[in-house]
Amino acid sequence: MSPVYDRVALIGLGLIASSMFWAIKRAGLAGEVTGFARSEATRDTARRIGLCDRVCESAAEAAEGADLVVLCVPVGAMGQVAAEIGPVLKPGATVSDVGSVKRAVIDAVGPHIPEGVHFVPAHPLAGTEHSGPESGFAELYDNRWCLLVPTEGSDPQAVARLRALWEGMGANVEEMEADHHDLVLAVTSHVPHAIAYTMVGVADHLRRVTESEVIKYSAAGFRDFTRIAASDPTMWRDVFLNNREATLDILGRFTEELFMLQRAIRMGDETYLFDYFTRTRAIRRGIIEAGQDTDAPDFGRVKGKPA
């Protein structure tokens, strides 16, 4: 495959950026990939494992001369990074991101994008509970979805070029409006994470009463909660703070569903419970049929493979 961009800059070198680098190299999608991470230790690790063709000492150095700059930092840090790189962005370049919240990113980053530079936010729906530069792998995006969220006035050619990059990395690509994206992700990702964190917190409280039994006898349901709740705390703090309205909306709906379930259990309503679990089971079947997971047993997923 021929290169989509001559030079790509990755700002932030965790799971998402490192997987982007390996996927870009696998398909020959860029001539050069530069990278930067705030932590010196992370930059040293990146150099040691060959992550990026050139690891730079500042975000501005990595972004200067790049045709595409991808912000792979927590949502709360994107505005600051955009301010740092804004003065060095070359005319015609594209700035994108990988944040799982879009309206807040657009509001934070947009003002720092100079005239003549394109801004095309994006969100790859892929990840594992692992983080850091050594956690990335080229196959992370294969058959996963990447949502492009063009802003008002986004250049169609810049959008098409970014789409070609993500498709070249193995992803399925769709476009979505920012507020709708944030609502959809509140349902599919943000609230499930909130519930997982809460359930693990309850179990931690119970564990203090029952000593080690909660850990020792963890069955599949609780084990999956702990996998989700192992995700990067900085990223999820920023997600909840920056998608507050949609998350609280869906949490409210979840609470209503929970009250109905509690009532059915209390009243011994066999029909309600059976019908409810039948409907929810169909959602799981739909996810498998869409190729977004497998029904194979997995008592502990293979490390490094998509969650």
Q: Please classify residue 227 by burial: count the beta carbons closer than 10 Å to its beta carbon, then call 0-12 exposed, 13-18 middle and 19+ buried.
A: middle
Domains of the chain (ranges; CATH) run 5-176 (3.40.50.720), 180-289 (1.10.3660.10)
* Mean pLDDT of the region 86-91: 97
pLDDT at 66: 98
pLDDT in tens, 236-271: 899 899 899 999 999 999 999 999 999 999 999 999
- Asked if residue 268 lies in contact with residue 88, where contact means CB atoms within 8 angstroms, the answer is no
Q: Does the pLDDT at position 287 exceed 90?
A: no
pLDDT for position 199: 83
Residue 69: pLDDT above 60? yes
Residue range 54-61: average pLDDT?
A: 98
- What does the pLDDT read at residue 301? 47
Least confident of 21-25, 92-96, 189-193, 225-229: 225-229
Burial 133-165 (b: 16+ CB within 10 A, else e): bbbbbbbbbeebbbbbbbeeebeeebbebbbeb
Q: Residue 230's pLDDT is what?
A: 80
Task: Give tens-digit pLDDT for 153-197.
Answer: 899 999 999 999 999 999 999 999 999 999 999 998 888 888 888
Burial class (CB in 10 A: 0-12, 13-18, 19+), 109: buried
Please give the mean pLDDT across all residues of the chain: 89
User: Mean per-residue pLDDT for 266-289?
Assistant: 86
End-to-end CA distance of the chain: 28
284 pLDDT above the threshold of 90 = no
Task: Give the contacts of 242 (CB within 8 A, at least 6 positions apart).
Answer: 75, 76, 101, 104, 105
What is the rounded CA–CA span in Å between residue 42 and residue 13? 7
Q: Which of 8-17, 86-95, 107-116, 213-222 has the lowest average pLDDT?
A: 213-222
Token pair 């963890």: residue: 218
What is the token pair recorded at 31? 């001539």
The neighbouring-strand residues paired with 70 are 10, 96
Question: How far is residue 192's CA from residue 199's CA, in Å, rounded to a whole number?
Answer: 10
Residue 299 has pLDDT above 60, yes or no: no
pLDDT exceeding 70 applies to what percent of the chain?
92
Please tell me the predicted confidence (pLDDT) of residue 219: 66
pLDDT of residue 220: 67
Pairing state between β 122-125 and 145-148: antiparallel
